Structures are given as structure tokens and as C-alpha cells.
Chains A and B, each alone.
Chain A
């Protein structure tokens, strides 16, 4: 029972992340080798949502006055700040982590056990972190897109993080009285879903293919969250010099090798340079080339796509696709 409730909770959190959007990794469908299973599970989850969670959430929204719902949302959000802070610190963002603990201290006391979000008004901004993002920050790719039962859209990385790690950072899990704990988790699920009613309706209206819309939005959203809202821009496929020969590659349609891209440590793109001169990777022993992308290449292009881990003493590196694999130093700032 706990596990089921726990999963409902996760669904909501994930749904929250998803509802608003997503960055298509170029060739997003390549990130979806499990599409057949995923679509079936997506349909099942939709059914459960329509039959149980959404009606509960709608009722809750109708019955509860807005200020009360805000209080409930704030209460659970406050409990979440501790785990968010820990993840910020794990990602090396000590200042942000300290701010999260500060939020918890302020809201738990002056904010009356978290019912009021005083800290936000005081300039301590709320963050969005979880262990999946921490792994992403550490360079772990998200793996295949997976729709989890009840929990909803996820990926191999995020799903494992959620089920294996994140719940341990959830204070509700440590509530000793089991019925109380379950009730709290149930309320949190319903409250989260109520907050997402508008968003989920909008997404449904906007989508040509609801499944694909949610999937691509989820992937974009997660990517954005890992970079805290400033992901390196995606290449614009219309501008790549692909010949457009896609005959016989129907299964791979949508595959697009991004142009080589130079990014700063913070992931901002400096130059897009497909044909710049490359220096061999070995010149930079600290640089690790990660073959992050398990992408197939479109016909006529050989080689793999790499996403570079950028050593801290380098200002920028070049990720190269095609046969000229390597890293190039753009500017060195020791």
C-alpha cells in the first residue's frame, strides 16, 4: 500500500515536471526504443488518472478555498527543500544548497510549519532538484525514455533515481505512524495534481499526438532542469547541411547529428563550428570524452556524437561529430 501511494506521489512529481514541456534531443524518437511498451503504459496511466486521481484533484480544488490549498502546497514544498538542498550541494552548488536550508529554517518557524512561503518573499528562491538531476549534472546520460506505471514519464536514469534514492530524502517517509504517513502522502498527491489541472488540460489541447507531446516535453524539461534553466541551445536542424537523403532510413527518420558545438563550463554555447580545426583529444589529458549519445547516424554520416565533460581549468571545448572525433581547446584559462 505504501509503495502504491509512494508511486502515486512520484507520478505527480514527474507529471509536474512534464506538464510544461521538453527539449527534444535531436532525434528524440531515437531516445524512445521502448515506444511500444511506453505507449501502452501511458494509456494505462491516463486511465488511472481519469478514473481516480483527476476527479479527486478536481473535487479538492472545488471544495478547498485557494488560500488553504496554497498552504497545503507550501507545507509539502517546505519539507521538500531539505532534499533539494542536499542535491544542490551534491552538485557543487553550495550557495544554492545553503539557501534551501535557509528556506526550510525560515518557513518552518516564521512561516508556521511551512504553511507560508515567507522565504521566497525574502529573496530565497525555491529550487527544483532531485537525484536524477544530480546524476545528470555528474554527466550521466538519461538513457531511454520510460513511462513508469502510475509514476508516469521518466527515463532509465531518472526512474532509478526516483525509486532507489529520492524517496529516502522525503521526510514523509520517516513519519512513524503509518496511517498518518499514508494520509499525508495521499493529500500531497491530490494537491500536486490539483495544481497541474490547467497545465495538463493545456498540454492535451496543444498536442497532435498526446503521448509524443508529453514525452518530448518531459525530455526538454529535464534537460532544462539539469542546467538550471540555461541549457546549451539545441542545434536548429533546418540550418544543418544535411543532404536530406532519408530514403531507406524510415526507422531512423528524425535522426539529426547536431553540429559541433563549443560550450563554456556553464553550458552556454559560444560558437557553432562544424568545420573548425580540431586538435586531437589527447592534448587534453583531463578532458574526458563521453559518448553520451547512443544515437544512430543518418545515412552518409559516420562516427559518433560526443558530449564533452569540461575540465574546470578550460574555458571551452569542442564536441565533434562525424569522423573528426576529438576535443579542441578554444581558450585556456588555468
Chain B
């Protein structure tokens, strides 16, 4: 009988889509799943970038809102880009962020991730999910996810690690690029960066 209930429950848990979850529950679910996979996959632990990218692509990226992220990084320069440029920028910035995110994941070494209680009112459409990574010999490092409610469920639009936003940290650089070379100059720089990262990755397959 107990088993029956357990089965029912697990079936239920599987059918609850990420869309229906509260934002913190959603982050926890994804984090747990990703860590479970990393723990079991020897290739990923050995730094197989292709496999990590795949994992991120399937498990993590659908929950990110990259156009919001790009707009956030661009700040007041965002409206200066036309629709086509915005699309290209979002694509390039996405590639760069994914590379960084995958790189960070590949350094995971059994650290414990704790979830802090969500401080939000019931109707909030914009919340911050706070987590902490415990490490020996240093204070825990915080990883906060800024999330907004969209028709497609809760989406992450900023990741703040140890107080540093992985998104807005680009703002000054983007400002400078646009000042010097316009929006197209920024696109060129981003594309160049992504290409060099790709070359680097293929030249020393880990």
C-alpha cells in the first residue's frame, strides 16, 4: 500500500510541469536534476564540454529569458538597436553566457547547495530565488536567480554569483563598445569572442 502511494506520488511529481511550480521549487528541481546528472556522468566530471553543453541546453536554457538578459546588459542602449540587431545580439550574448555557465558547472565538486526561503508575496511576478553554495575555508558563495513570471512559466533573467550579476557586469563594456563602434561594433566584438572561445574549445578537447 505504501508502495502504491509512493508510485502515485512519483507519477504526480512527474506530471507537474515546471510551469506550475513556484519559482523557488522550480530552481530547486532543476538544480537537483542537473547535479544528479553531473554526479553520475563520469565524462562530465572529466570536463567533457560537449556533454555539459548538451545538459545545459536541455535542462537549463529553456528556463532562461535571453532577450530580457540582453536588454538588461545593454541598459539604455537596448532601444538603440533595431529589431534585427536585437535578435542577433541576443543570440550572441546567449552563446557567451551559456559558455560561461557550462564552464562554471564543469567545476562542480560535490558542493552542497542550500536554498534560502523565498521572500515574496503571493501575487509577485518578479522574485529572487536565493541559494548558497557551501565550501570549506571560505564563506558560502551566494547564487541568486532573478525570475519573472511569463505566460510560459517562471523565467530566469539574471544570475548573481557572490553579488556579481553575470548579466549587468557586461553593461560598462557594452556601453564602451557601442560608444566606439555602434551597435554593429558590439555585435562584431561578441561574435569574435564567441568564435575565439569555440576555436579554443576545439583546439584542446578535454
Q: Please report A residues at the B interface, Cβ cutoff 8 Å.
A: 16, 20-24, 28-29, 70, 73-74, 76-77, 117, 120, 125-128, 195, 198, 201-202, 205-209, 212-213, 215-217, 220-221, 223-225, 229, 231, 234, 236-238, 240, 242, 244, 250, 253-254, 256
- For the complex, give the distance between the alpha carbons of A242 and B161 in Å: 29
Query: Number of residue pairs across A and B with beta carbons under 8 Å?
Result: 139
Contact A213 B162 (CB under 8 A): no
Question: Given the complex, which residues of B lie within 8 Å of A76, measured CB to CB?
Answer: 137
Residue among A20, A207, A216 making CB contact with B141, cutoff 8 Å: A20
**What are 10 A-B contacts defined by CB distance under 8 Å?**
A23-B163, A77-B137, A202-B104, A206-B103, A209-B176, A215-B172, A237-B75, A238-B74, A253-B175, A254-B176
Q: Evaluate whether A23 and B165 lie within 8 angstroms (CB atoms) in the complex, with A117-B136, A256-B75 already known.
A: yes
Q: Are A21 and B161 in contact (CB under 8 A)?
A: yes
B182 interface residue per 8 A CB criterion: no
A22–B100 touching, CB < 8 Å: no
B36 located at the interface, meaning its Cβ lies under 8 Å from any Cβ of chain A in the complex: no
The CA of A237 and the CA of B136, in the complex, are separated in Å by: 38
Check if A221 sits within 8 Å of B164, measured CB to CB.
yes
Interface pair B137/A70, CB less than 8 Å apart: yes
- The interface size bin for chain B is 35 or more
B125 within 8 A of A: no
Contact B179 A250 (CB under 8 A): yes
- B residues in contact (CB < 8 Å) with A: 71-72, 74-76, 78-80, 96, 99-100, 103-104, 107, 134, 136-142, 160-166, 168-177, 179, 189-190, 193, 197, 200
Name A199's closest neighbour in chain B (CB-CB). B107
Q: A74-B137, A117-B137 are in contact. Are A24 and B171 (CB under 8 A)?
A: yes
On whether the beta carbons of A236 and B72 are closer than 8 Å, the reply is yes
Say yes or no: A234-B137 contact (C-beta < 8 A), given A20-B162, A256-B76.
no
Assembly CA distance A24 to B172 (angstroms): 8
Instruction: Give the dominant DSSP class at B's interface.
Output: helix
Instruction: Give the 3 A-B residue pairs with the shortest CB-CB distance, closest first.
Output: A21-B164, A224-B163, A73-B137
A209 to B197, CA, bound (A): 14
- A229 and B104 alpha carbons, distance in the complex (Å): 20
Tell me, rounded to whole Å, the shortest Cβ–Cβ distance linking A197 to chain B.
9
- A220 contacts which of B79, B140, B163 (Cβ < 8 Å)? B163
Known contacts A213-B169, A216-B173, A238-B72; 4 additional CB pairs below 8 A are A120-B134, A237-B76, A253-B179, A256-B75
Count chain B CB atoms within 10 A of each CB in A206, A236, A256 and give the residue with the most. Answer: A206
Is the pair A238, B138 in contact by a Cβ cutoff of 8 Å? no
A224 touches B76 (CB 8 A): no
**CB-nearest residue of chain A to B128:** A233
Chain A proximity of B80: nearest CB distance (Å): 8
Q: Is the CB of A205 within 8 A of B173?
A: no
Looking across the interface, which residue of chain A has its beta carbon closest to that of B192? A208
Enumerate chain A residues within 8 angstroms of B189, measured Cβ to Cβ: 208
Tell me whether A23 and B76 are in contact (CB under 8 A): no
Are B141 and A208 neighbours in the complex by a CB distance under 8 Å? no
A216 adjacent to B172 (CB under 8 Å): yes
Q: Does the CB pair A234–B173 fall under 8 Å? A: no
Q: Is the CB–CB distance between A205 and B100 below 8 Å?
A: yes
A229 CB contact (under 8 Å) in B76, B163, B190: B163
Asked whether, in the complex, the Cβ of B164 is within 8 Å of the Cβ of A217, the reply is yes
Cα distance A120–B173 when bound, in Å? 38
Contacting residues, chain B, for A234 (C-beta < 8 A): 168
Inter-subunit contact B162/A208 (CB<8 Å): no
Q: Are B139 and A21 in contact (CB under 8 A)?
A: no
The one of A28, A126, A221 that contacts B162, using a Cβ cutoff of 8 Å: A221
Query: Max chain A CB contacts within 10 Å: which of B75, B172, B175, B177?
Result: B172
CB-CB < 8 A to A223: which residues of B?
Answer: 163
Interface centre among A20, A127, A244, A250 (most CB of B within 10 A): A20
B161, A20: Cβ atoms under 8 Å?
A: yes
A217 to B173, CA, bound (A): 12
- For residue A143, give the distance in angstroms from its CB to the closest CB of chain B: 18
- Asked if B169 and A217 make an inter-chain contact with CB atoms under 8 angstroms apart, the answer reads yes
In the bound assembly, the distance between CA atoms of A74 and B80 in angstroms comes to 50
Tell me the minimal C-beta distance from A220 to chain B in angstroms. 5
For A206, the closest partner residue in chain B by CB is B100
Q: A120-B134, A120-B136, A221-B162 are contacts. A29–B176 as well, Cβ < 8 Å?
A: yes
Contacts of B74 in A (CB 8 A): 238
- Name which residue of chain B comes closest to A201, CB basis: B103
